[in-house]
Amino acid sequence: MRRVAVMVAVFLWMALPAFAGSAERTAPRPIPAATRGQMECTGFISATPVPDDVFVAGGADNDFNNRFHAFSTGNYVYLKTERGTGPVVGEELRLVRPESDEMLESWVRAGLGPMPDFGYHDWYAWQGYDIRKLGRPYRDTGRVKVIKLTPQGAVAKVVFACAAVNMGDLALPYSPRPVPTYVPTVRLDRFALLNSKQTGAITAIRDNAGVGAVGDIVYLNMGRGVTQPGQKYRIIRVLLPGHTLLVAPTLPNETIGELVVLWTQKKSAVAIIVSALRQIQPGDAVQLE
């Protein structure tokens, strides 16, 4: 009998590292919150206007100088400098486009932009007002590399495109946006109680979409100093869209997904939906996990 007990003890001792290794393998590990392409094409809401010193004035293979001509990866565009020293050969620039917040502007501006326009169609009461409090939305359209300088301006090649590059797109100094990591939730508690941590709301979804799903980009009404890249939030459906969790609910809260902050602006944050049990909507509340 004693011999059997010793053999069992030895077996358990030998199996312990295997059990520990299995636990380590099943424990969630940090993973990237987004791909490099997603990070380059998030768009953002800027509290201050983006400088318009350098912009796309035209491009090759556009004989009629069509302002709505679509330039894509591999095409050449011409950059004009209004102020400052301008770009230099070899420099990479990020192209962005201000989103329209008025119906008339979407017809006359140099760029096609998504429909419906930001602030023109509200997915919840006062959404346009909430967006304007954060600043002006901008769309990432791509990245160019300057290959030649001429007396008329710089020639640049489109090396990456998020969308069609148009005349009027603004050129900014380029630097890669770091990709944050997060630890995935093993099992999401759909009816988790509220905690005392920081809350906010989804002010808009990229392209001012009315619904969002896993992988979609959203914009939060909290900015730098309040939240930071890599933080994970529960998405909570509230009965009155557009309102945060500052008022005690009369019914249980429903957690419908999670998002992770990718990067921040002064008043707003760009985030990505990483899990969803239902469709995510502008106005849904968020709370830090």
Q: How far is CA 194 from CA 98, 131, 189, 283, 288, in A?
A: 37, 26, 11, 17, 10
**What type of residue is 205?**
I
Is residue 18 exposed (0-12), middle (13-18) or buried (19+ Cβ within 10 Å)? exposed
Residue 156, token pair as written in the block: 């640049």
Prior bond to 116 cis, omega within 30?
A: yes
3-state SS class at 206 = helix
Q: How far apart are CA 170 and CA 111, in angstroms?
A: 11
Amino acid identity of 117? D
Strand 199-205 versus strand 181-182 pairing type:
unpaired
- pTM recorded for the entire structure: 0.84
Whole-number pLDDT of residue 196: 85
Judged by DSSP in three states, 207 sits in helix
Token pair in block for residue 10: 């030895």
Strand partners, 87: none
Q: Which domains does the chain have, with CATH numbers?
A: 38-173 (no CATH), 181-288 (2.40.10)
Mean pLDDT by 10 residues, the chain (289 residues): 50 50 68 97 96 94 81 96 90 92 44 51 84 94 97 96 93 97 94 88 92 97 96 86 57 91 98 96 93
Tell me what pLDDT residue 245 has. 58
